[in-house]
Homo-oligomer: A and B are copies of this chain.
């Protein structure tokens, strides 16, 4: 260590690894507030917390893992304790919270009270190319019900997502849960004669581009294929014209609740799976209504696809309707901040037995960033501690006693512990966003007083956010008060009775 400090060449660079970031108070305050609020909603619905390890055996994760010497595509993986021949099990960091839940449920199935309802939050890792706002580690918060095939279990998950968004601070009317069912599209394709898995996937991918390409572009992708502006050709799903029109008619049904279900019945009817999907959505509609979730909170939207192949029934997506403007002044919609659906095959990977399951995952980091950008975050008001200025080194004990008194009253407070003078100490307090600085020098000690400098006021004045005269009348900026009134004086600055 001391050796390393000797020469420049041997010193490591101080930087976060590519695609990873440090997060400071402001980011964390938002994220923790969201996690606390959403967890409280989940617990009120009877979901219990579960924490699984960061690592899983790579074969348990399944997805993303090709048959390769080093299964490191998409996930961060390493070989645990390889022997002399290089043999040893591969472990990988979890890339979501669903795969570990499936492993946990399979491992403990016999002893769990069923249906098993759990929520979980924590970081997940993706070994992908990072980009702006796209990191290789981020926080998710999930709730899942394992062991219930009832559509009401889906409805409950949707209701929790709606309530969770409100609890997280999204204003009423600024978010919507969109619901669809894989069974509807599957039924539609069955009546159109599509049974090949690859073709089904191509149809799902085509529909997923509706927002971007519009019906005409999607029509090409459902048929033979589409050439984009650059001239690049994307092979289509190969549906005939009649089948493609049926799919487009399906996706053209607008988002809504009872009315949408009625129209879907008209375009879908005929296949057993489609009818089953419709019955599921009808049951979800009834349960949502009795849970108090109306069309302003959750709607059926036939254009919602959701990428993951493992969904087998209802799929959900949470869309944030809040907008913001980017650095170029263009208005930006945040779009999806979470999603989920019914997956009935994940546990079967381990046990061979199909277990019905449904769940939802919040992208917490993304939601926090969206709320912050939209100015809806509580942390905008974040304040640092009251700083007790060190005027006289011989009086440290007294300064500590002052800070202790403030803390006992519930006020965050600290004694300045650097070596700088008064001016630098005031600057420090300002940079910490301290509401106030306490100054007790020779005069104050002699008179049994303390001087309080209102730093909130200083910042407000410098930003021009307030009427100087009115503020100055109420808050004189700096006052000297009897020592016994110090805590109450700070309380006035904090707008709280201490």
Measured CB to CB, the residues of A under 8 A from B are: 1-2, 4-6, 8, 11-18, 20-25, 27-29, 43-46, 48-57, 59-60, 62, 72, 76-78, 80-81, 89, 91, 93, 103-104, 106-107, 113-115, 117, 123, 125, 137, 145, 147-150, 152-153, 156, 286-287, 289-292, 309-310, 345-346, 348-352, 354, 384-385, 387, 396-398, 400-401, 404, 407, 410-419, 428, 431-432
Given A77-B78, A80-B18, A352-B5, A385 and B46 contact (CB-CB distance below 8 Å): yes
Alpha-carbon distance A151/B306, docked complex (angstroms): 57
Give the chain B neighbours of A428 by CB distance below 8 A.
113-114
Q: A13-B350, A45-B385, A152-B417 are in contact. List 15 more A-B contacts (CB 8 A).
A: A1-B62, A8-B352, A12-B60, A13-B57, A15-B103, A22-B50, A22-B104, A44-B407, A46-B414, A54-B137, A55-B137, A113-B431, A152-B400, A289-B397, A290-B400
Alpha-carbon distance A59/B1, docked complex (angstroms): 12
Alpha-carbon distance A191/B137, docked complex (angstroms): 52
Give the chain B neighbours of A289 by CB distance below 8 A.
397
Instruction: Give min CB distance, A196 to chain B, whole Å.
Output: 14
Given A23-B51, A52-B16, A286 and B397 contact (CB-CB distance below 8 Å): yes
Asked if B24 contacts A50 (CB within 8 A), the reply is yes
Given A145-B417, A290-B400, A396-B152, A56 and B114 contact (CB-CB distance below 8 Å): no
Q: A413: nearest residue on chain B (CB-CB)? A: B46
Alpha-carbon distance A352/B6, docked complex (angstroms): 7
Give the chain B neighbours of A22 by CB distance below 8 A.
50-53, 104, 107
* Majority DSSP secondary structure for residues of A touching B: mixed
Asked if A148 contacts B417 (CB within 8 A), the reply is yes
Alpha-carbon distance A351/B21, docked complex (angstroms): 20
Asked if A11 contacts B350 (CB within 8 A), the reply is yes
Asked if B23 contacts A50 (CB within 8 A), the reply is yes
Asked if A418 contacts B76 (CB within 8 A), the reply is no
Could you list 16 A-B pairs, sorted by A, with CB under 8 Å? A2-B348, A5-B349, A11-B352, A12-B62, A15-B60, A17-B57, A18-B81, A23-B51, A46-B432, A54-B54, A54-B125, A78-B78, A147-B418, A150-B419, A153-B417, A290-B401
Instruction: Give min CB distance, A76 to chain B, whole Å.
Output: 6
Alpha-carbon distance A364/B436, docked complex (angstroms): 33
Instruction: Give min CB distance, A219 to chain B, whole Å.
Output: 30
Instruction: Give min CB distance, A396 to chain B, whole Å.
Output: 6
Alpha-carbon distance A384/B118, docked complex (angstroms): 12
Asked if B152 contacts A56 (CB within 8 A), the reply is no
For the complex of A and B, the 8 pairs showing the least CB-CB separation, nearest first, are A46-B414, A46-B385, A20-B53, A14-B106, A290-B397, A113-B431, A12-B59, A14-B107
Give the chain B neighbours of A310 by CB distance below 8 A.
1
